[in-house]
Chain A
Amino acid sequence: MKPLRDAGLSALVALGLFGVMIGLKTDAGPHSLVLRARPWAVAAAVAAVFFGRLAMLYWRQWRPAGTPSPRHVAATLSRIGRYAAPLLLAFAITLPLYAGRYWLDLGVLVLTYVMLGWGLNIVVGLAGLLDLGYVAFYAVGAYSYALLAQTFDLGFWTCLPLAGLLAALWGVMLGFPVLRLRGDYLAIVTLAFGEIIRIVLLNWVSLTGGPNGLSGIPRPTLFGLKFNGGGGPGSFADFFGLEPSISQRVVYLYFVILGLALLTNWVSLRLRRLPLGRAWEALREDEVACRSLGINVTVTKLTAFAIGAAFGGFAGAFFATRQAFISPESFTFIESAVVLAIVVLGGLGSQLGTALAALVMIGGAEVFRDLQEYRMLIFGLALVVVMVVRPRGLVSGRTPSVALGGRRHIGADMMSEGHG
């Protein structure tokens, strides 16, 4: 009886929600908007919720006794993880060989978020500092490149380190006032910081063009060779005697962001094994203990902010050169939220998890584009399901940064759950 009542209640909630959301549709009538009722669609949705809930409850009751233990699951996943990373890498490198323009563009987008995820992972995953304003550094990087390139006529590869450096500088500037803050308080201040940067960009019209943004941002070159559709002297196609094609630039951009993302990954993996990276992780675990061990907490936090921000800046510079146009609209809070969701979904501190989560979230959102408004519904549902089924993220658990003999995986049960 209880499952039936439970499912009935769920159906009632569904009726309340869908009655308005699905049941009423506005159509353009001859003179004004016409409200059309769709009772059958509501009935179908409510029935789906009722039977879905019922099936779930019965499944829980009749579930076979021999469910795999979390430890076993973790071991299996870590084994899969060992093969998944090289496979993903091989897939990423060979993608331009067989994928068309659309898929490469999507690949560039996914890789940008992978890179942002890995950059934010340093701050949130390793150092445990919840940053809701990461998009600020993305914006600083993008505008730094655009302004440097347009004002001083500098190339992409010259501006890239400068953009990273400027973003790191802003990372430190954000870091100083929030040194004493933790958890929720830190999150709110970083959120505000992200908004301040966006609003400044929006209102400082003489420098940033305000809401009109900056356009005509130069494209990246390969040792001075340009990638343009028209070909001509000094272009990549001309130099190698190829037919000029816009897809050469797409492939080039793809490899640039792949290289940048891999650099981010490599640096984070290296840092984790250095005293600095270990100090970040220790800071995440216990700040008081860190102090008592003679660790300079101020410097440790600031370096985490700075290095995380620098990678955000690199990604921003890439974004600017890829789009050739930037405006404050690209740097809203939702971007920070998406990147943070990628990091949390992937499993805090997990490099592979972040990459998978970016693939699923960004790639998935793109694949489901045909579903229009239902896309966000599926998106939200997927987030909820992942957090219920795997509350510590897709790939949870951490490998110790030092080991005698064989490495040992630290099980998921010791990873943070829900809020860090």
Chain B
Amino acid sequence: MSALLRLSGVTAYYGAIQALKGVDLEVNPGEIVTLIGANGAGKSTLMMTICGNPRARDGQITYDGQDITAQPTHAIMRQGIAQSPEGRRIFPRMSVHENLLMGAHGHPPSEAEATMQEVFALFPRLLERLSQRGGTLSGGEQQMLAIGRALMSRPRLLLLDEPSLGLAPLVVRHIFSAIRELNRRTGLTVLLVEQNAYQALRLAHRGYVLVNGAITMAGPGAELLARPEIRAAYLEGGH
């Protein structure tokens, strides 16, 4: 099976600081893959590097068989990759409706309308809040909006950067079950970056562990969850 997204030997720098030290990672079509790691391990950097900002210095990133390493961000995001960025980054003064439409930028309006109905089916709360401005939503609703906005471009690969950040456990469960449902129903491929290792590994088919910019472990979600070193480092005492 050929991978939808493949990173081989990817390095990235912030100035002189090396944030990624040769990462190899694969996401196959229809999979949910999670990347877990501590604060500052480089998880979000990896996510942003896939989007070309910062650009990978060495190594190669291929999507659907195409080399996207050197492409500009907006071009990458138009090939069927969508991102729900860290911190959600919704447009606070624009309405929920406008936020969603921004996600369908460059797509015909009729298609956007149909996609929006699918987003409402997944997150009915967004329909209730449609004319409200983004900044007045609760954290959970903002996360739903960020994911909904990403889905508006009808992606094949969804990049989710810490969707559980700052949310109540009940809300996290709701959002994770929505991701699972989406994956089952439409076969959407998901790369999920999380600190909430327990929830993420339970959701994902496979997982990677990132430590100091390098992958230290990889395997099926359930298997990683059972490993004592994972339990010790990421699960005990938290979540």
- Given A291-B53, A292-B83, A294-B153, does the pair A282, B94 have CB atoms closer than 8 Å? yes
| B72-123, CB < 8 A from A | 72-74, 76-78, 82-83, 85, 89-95, 97-98, 101-103, 105-106
Number of B interface residues in the complex (CB < 8 A): 33
A297 to B101, CA, bound (A): 17
Interface of chain B residues 24 through 54 with chain A (CB within 8 A): 51, 53
Q: For residues 287 through 326 of chain A, which have their beta carbon under 8 Å from a beta carbon of chain B?
A: 288-297
A291 to B97 CA separation, bound complex (whole angstroms): 19
Chain B residues near A294: list those with CB within 8 A: 73-74, 76-78, 82, 105-106, 153
A-B contacts besides A285-B91, A294-B74, A296-B72, 11 pairs, CB < 8 Å: A281-B98, A289-B90, A291-B53, A291-B74, A292-B73, A293-B77, A293-B150, A295-B105, A401-B98, A403-B95, A414-B92
Is there contact, CB below 8 Å, between A400 and B91?
Answer: no
Count: A-B pairs, CB below 8 Å:
95
Q: A275-B105, A289-B85 are in contact. Are A410 and B77 (CB under 8 A)?
A: no
Determine if A404 and B74 form an interchain contact, defined as CB atoms under 8 angstroms apart: no
Q: Could you list 6 A-B pairs, sorted by A, with CB under 8 Å?
A: A286-B89, A291-B74, A292-B83, A404-B130, A408-B95, A414-B93
Contact B91 A289 (CB under 8 A): yes
Question: Is A415 located at the chain interface by the 8 A CB criterion?
Answer: yes
Residue of A281, A291, A297 with highest tally of chain B CB at under 10 A: A291
Per-residue interface assignment for chain A, residues 142 to 180, with 1 indicating a CB less than 8 Å from any chain B CB and 0 otherwise: 000000000000000000000000000000000000000
A285 and B105: CB pair below 8 A? Answer: no
Residues of B within 8 A of A400 (CB): 94-95, 97-98, 131, 133
Q: CA of A401 to CA of B103 in the docked complex: distance in angstroms?
A: 15
Which B residues fall within an 8 A CB radius of A? 51, 53, 72-74, 76-78, 82-83, 85, 89-95, 97-98, 101-103, 105-106, 130-131, 133, 135-136, 149-150, 153
CA distance A401 to B99 in the complex (A): 11
- Most chain B CB inside 10 Å of its own CB: which residue of A275, A294, A415: A294
Smallest CB–CB gap between B7 and chain A, Å?
18
CB–CB B135/A278 < 8 A:
no
For the complex, give the distance between the alpha carbons of A199 and B206 in Å: 64
Contact (Cβ within 8 A) B98 A291: no
Whether A222 is near chain B, meaning CB under 8 Å from some CB there, is no
B133 CB contact (under 8 Å) in A289, A402, A410 = A410
CB neighbours (8 Å) of B83 from chain A are 292
A279 at the interface (CB under 8 A from B): yes
Contacts of B97 in A (CB 8 A): 400, 402-404
| A293 in contact with B105 given A282-B91, A286-B91 (CB within 8 Å) | yes
Interchain residue pairs A-B with the least CB separation, the first 7: A294-B77, A289-B89, A285-B91, A400-B95, A292-B83, A296-B74, A294-B78
Chain A contacts of B94 at CB under 8 A?
A: 278, 281-282, 285, 400
Q: Is A398 interfacial (CB-CB < 8 Å)?
A: yes
Asked if A293 contacts B103 (CB within 8 A), the reply is yes
User: Is A414 a contact partner of B133 (Cβ separation < 8 A)?
Assistant: yes
- Taking CB atoms, residues of chain A closer than 8 Å to B53 are 291
Question: C-beta contact mask, A386-420 vs B, less than 8 Å → 1, else 0?
Answer: 00000000000010111110001010001110000
| Contact indicator A402/B101 (Cβ below 8 Å) | yes
B82 CB contacts on chain A under 8 angstroms: 293-294
Closest to A287 in B: B89
Chain A residue nearest to B74 in the complex (CB): A296
B93 touching A398 by the CB < 8 A rule?
yes
Given contacts A285-B91, A293-B149, contact A408 B131 (CB under 8 A): yes
- CB-defined contacts of B76 to chain A, threshold 8 Å: 294
Q: Is the CB of B73 within 8 A of A291?
A: yes
Q: Which of A285, A288, A416 contacts B85 (CB 8 A)?
A: A288
Q: Are A291 and B95 in contact (CB under 8 A)?
A: no
Contacts of A285 in B (CB 8 A): 91-94
Is there contact, CB below 8 Å, between A278 and B102?
A: yes
CB contacts (< 8 Å) of A286 on chain B: these are 89-91
In the bound complex, do residue A292 and residue B91 qualify as a contact, i.e. CB atoms below 8 Å apart?
Answer: no
- In the complex, A197 Cα to B214 Cα: how many Å? 52
